[in-house]
Amino acid sequence: MKANELRKMYVEFFEKRGHKEINSASLLPDNDPSVLFTTAGMHPLVPYLLGEKHPQGKRLVDIQKCVRTCDIDEVGDDTHLTFFEMLGNWSLGDYFKEESITMSYLFLTEYLNIPVERLAVTVFEGNSLVPRDTESAEIWIRNGLKKEQIYFYGRDENWWGPAGKTGPCGPDTEIFYDMGKEKCGENCGPACSCGKYVEIWNNVFMEYNKNEDGTYSELLQKNVDTGMGLERVLTIFNGYKNVYETELFQPIIEKIESLTGVNYTEENKNTFRIISDHMRASTFILGDPKGVTPSNSEQGYILRRLIRRTIRLVKKLGVNSNIICSIAEVIIENYGEIYSELVKNKSFVLEQLEKEYLLFSKTLDSGLKMAERYFSKLEEGNSLSGDLAFKLYDTFGFPIEFTVELASERKINVDIPVFEEKFREHQEKSRKGAAEKFKGGLADNSERTTKLHTATHLLNAALRKVLGNTVYQRGSNINSERLRFDFSFDRKLTKDELEQVEKIVNEAIEKGIDVMCTEETLEEAKAEEAIGVFESKYGEIVKVYAIPGYSKEICGGPHASNTEELKSFKILKEESSSSGVRRIKATIG
């Protein structure tokens, strides 16, 4: 079976049972500061799990692109990935355990024809908050599982969430496929990592919310949140041994073989697999419309880590030129039909990879030499000092995880606590800068600042017109003198570009256009391609300010009522704000 058939079969199965299909959301959660990436299909649904009404109803199904960095050290084995597609179905206060388990069982055994004896499931053994889940166990037995196929575990294995510090969570029942190997010992079971059992599906009975203070409260409704790994199910259905044998990875592996002239073998399989996985994740992160670029903080840092590790592994295969762009091209080709954003943002993806390659390959050789020198003075079991690890980070751009990996290849440790201390001091400085950058908004609502706010919208629109839609607001600050606008873009603007931007804004001012304000749901606003920092929850009413012909933004206001009030617009300065972010200061009238 091909991936597309599985995607289709899954969605149709649940559609037939009253579910409505929703789209995959961005990999960068809209309004969830608790996580860096969308790690499960439930992220975009949090408001609805908490009780808000979803416009599509109480039964939903989707295929969500996910990034999970918690599994990064396992990548290279047969099943763990940093990027994967999650097939998910939800009941928002509708069906519960009986229907959920029965549907999963039916899909696995009758649609995917998995023999029932190859399944094993786990259920929650209970604690002081939630009783032992004998109900789920009984439902499994009624469906045809034997008692021996059901394992009871505690919180570590059978409690899911919240994804961040707070949010919806609950006990779950996880479904595993038995790969047919011998048990590795007496206690071998689904929780064992020997590879006998591979988790394929997780049905969470989301009844609780974890609060800020660590307590749990019952949700307004009992939800079901399930997630199944597409790559894993495809592997099992086709009788493959690992996810890299699927058609989702084969073309990538073949491309790496042809670009490096090295064959994929048992000895180098980890290198090939990590390159394939990391390039897939990097391509999807860069291809996301949010326009994340490699940097030293948050999502940008994870992206940088993935790309830099890849560059080094390519070098390990004996290649010193940039092949990562060609690998990304294969990925875009493979997935472009389903994830059209990859095609749309192809040039951005390739440009950013090329840029990061150039930046890192400049220091990689000298950094590796320097690291070698440090390591040569140490013996196996010794530790590289935190100061030197920080030097490798600061001077040569080696992410700490990268240094740890190099060191561990020589059985050397790294003094992480001291590194972290140094790193924190360094980050504190940039955080202060970032806080300043985001402070923004309106310092006061005087007439002048209100007009400068409208000018900011026009500037944002003009920048997108001249530089393309990868430009996103990264910060805004207004005082009575000027506006200051930070946006994603990775090079200095030319004189000509600045003139064009200024001209567009002045043209809008001269036309004397009325600024319109409407109230809409966030979804309506998004559908109309209103841009903005999406701070509201889905379904909530947002204000949309439109300057017809120029700009449409989700924003709290206030604004000038007509563009002619701005009189004229002038850019005072264009400069770098931080990596991948430019800053413009401008004034009016």
Q: Which residues sit at the interface with ligand SER, rule CB under 6 A?
A: 40-42, 88, 160, 202, 204, 225-227
With contact defined as beta carbons under 8 Å apart, do 538 and 523 qualify?
yes
Of 90 and 485, nearer to ligand SER (C-beta) is 90
Of 199 and 574, nearer to ligand SER (C-beta) is 199
Q: Is 193 helix (H, G, I), strand (E, B) or coil?
A: coil
Of 203 and 403, nearer to ligand SER (C-beta) is 203
Cβ-proximal residues to 122 (8 Å cutoff; 6+ apart), any chain:
150, 151, 152, 153, 157, 158, 173, 174, 176, 190, 191
With contact defined as beta carbons under 8 Å apart, do 483 and 585 qualify?
yes
How far is 296 from 282, CA to CA, in rounded Å?
15
Torsion of the alpha carbons at 252, 254, 257 and 260, rounded to the nearest 10: -50
For residue 283, what are the CA distances in angstroms to 264, 322, 399? 22, 15, 19
How far is 238 from 228, CA to CA, in rounded Å?
16
How far is 292 from 285, CA to CA, in rounded Å?
7
Q: Shortest gap between Cβ of 226 and ligand SER (angstroms)? A: 5
Would you say 559 is a known binding-site residue? yes
How far is 27 from 378, CA to CA, in rounded Å?
41
Q: Shortest gap between Cβ of 88 and ligand SER (angstroms)? A: 5
Please state the φ and ψ torsions of residue 159, each to the nearest 5 degrees.
-130, 125
Task: Name the closest residue to ligand SER (Cβ).
Answer: 227
User: Residue 340 burial by CB count (10 A; 0-12/13-18/19+): exposed, middle or buried?
Assistant: exposed
Q: Shortest gap between Cβ of 160 and ligand SER (angstroms)? A: 5
Q: Shortest gap between Cβ of 170 and ligand SER (angstroms)? A: 10
What own/partner pairs with CB < 8 Å and gap ≥ 24 does 220-223 have?
Answer: 220/50, 220/51, 220/93, 221/51, 221/92, 221/93, 222/93, 222/96, 223/49, 223/90, 223/91, 223/92, 223/93, 223/168, 223/170
* SS3 readout for 41-55: CCHHHHHHHCCCCCC
Of 88 and 171, nearer to ligand SER (C-beta) is 88
Query: Whats the size of the chain, residue-wise?
Result: 589
Q: Shortest gap between Cβ of 204 and ligand SER (angstroms)? A: 5
Tracing tokens 């509201």 back to the chain, one arrives at 536
Q: Shortest gap between Cβ of 245 and ligand SER (angstroms)? A: 24
Of 78 and 225, nearer to ligand SER (C-beta) is 225
Q: Shortest gap between Cβ of 39 and ligand SER (angstroms)? A: 7
Of 80 and 437, nearer to ligand SER (C-beta) is 80
> Can you name the residues that pair with 21 across neighbouring β-strands?
61
Would you say 453 is a known binding-site residue? yes
Of 166 and 430, nearer to ligand SER (C-beta) is 166
Of 58 and 464, nearer to ligand SER (C-beta) is 58
Q: Shortest gap between Cβ of 62 and ligand SER (angstroms)? A: 11
How far is 276 from 327, CA to CA, in rounded Å?
8
DSSP state at residue 186: T
Cβ-proximal residues to 145 (8 Å cutoff; 6+ apart), any chain:
116, 119, 121
Q: Shortest gap between Cβ of 266 and ligand SER (angstroms)? A: 31
Q: Shortest gap between Cβ of 201 and ligand SER (angstroms)? A: 8
Of 226 and 473, nearer to ligand SER (C-beta) is 226
Of 204 and 581, nearer to ligand SER (C-beta) is 204
How far is 84 from 65, CA to CA, in rounded Å?
6
List, as residue ranges, the binding site: 453, 457, 555, 559
List, as residue ranges, the binding site for Zn(2+): 453, 457, 555, 559
